[in-house]
Amino acid sequence: MATKREGGCQCGAVRYEIEGEALFTALCHCSMCRRAHAAPAVAWAMYPEDMVVFSKDGRAFHASSPEARRGFCQACGTQISFTASFIPGLIDIAIGSLDRPEDLPPSLRYWESRHLPWLKIEDGLPRYPEFPPQG
């Protein structure tokens, strides 16, 4: 049976279900994610867009760059998703919005060049100065 995960925002206006495995999980240190989430780093799980089904979709969207759209709950502000023209057909889901984020750890870290010096992480994961190699 396929893995099923559920998640949503803090207030419940956004709820989603995902059936199947993530293509990729990562912790991002980039300054765009940091600012958007007001958090020192952001964990993402990437899926084919049609694998993520929103049963309640109270998202609004912010274009954080001309290519990218960040989806967040328009009621409570929780950051939920990231889509971009450079990852067509794919959606990143913020692992922190899952009901059980502990079940889906990051497999690498990227934008390590922007890693905040006071954030100490000793996870032994592969690290990339910018985006990881594609594929």
Give the nearest distance from C-beta 51 to Zn ion in angstroms.
Answer: 21
Q: Report the C-alpha gap between 38 and 70 in whole angstroms.
A: 13
Nearer to Zn ion, 20 or 56 (CB): 56
Nearer to Zn ion, 18 or 28 (CB): 28
Give the nearest distance from C-beta 73 to Zn ion in angstroms.
Answer: 3
Query: For every residue of the chain, which 3-state class applies, written as one string?
Result: CCCEEEEECCCCCEEEEEECCCCEEEEECCHHHHHHHCCCCEEEEEEEHHHEEEEEECEEEEEEECCEEEEEECCCCCEEEEEECCCCCEEEEEHHHECCHHHCCCCCEECHHHCCCCCCCCCCCCECCCCCCCC
Give the nearest distance from C-beta 10 to Zn ion in angstroms.
Answer: 5
In the complex, the residues that contact Zn ion under the rule CB under 5 A are 9, 11, 13, 28, 30, 33, 73, 75-76
Give the nearest distance from C-beta 76 to Zn ion in angstroms.
Answer: 3
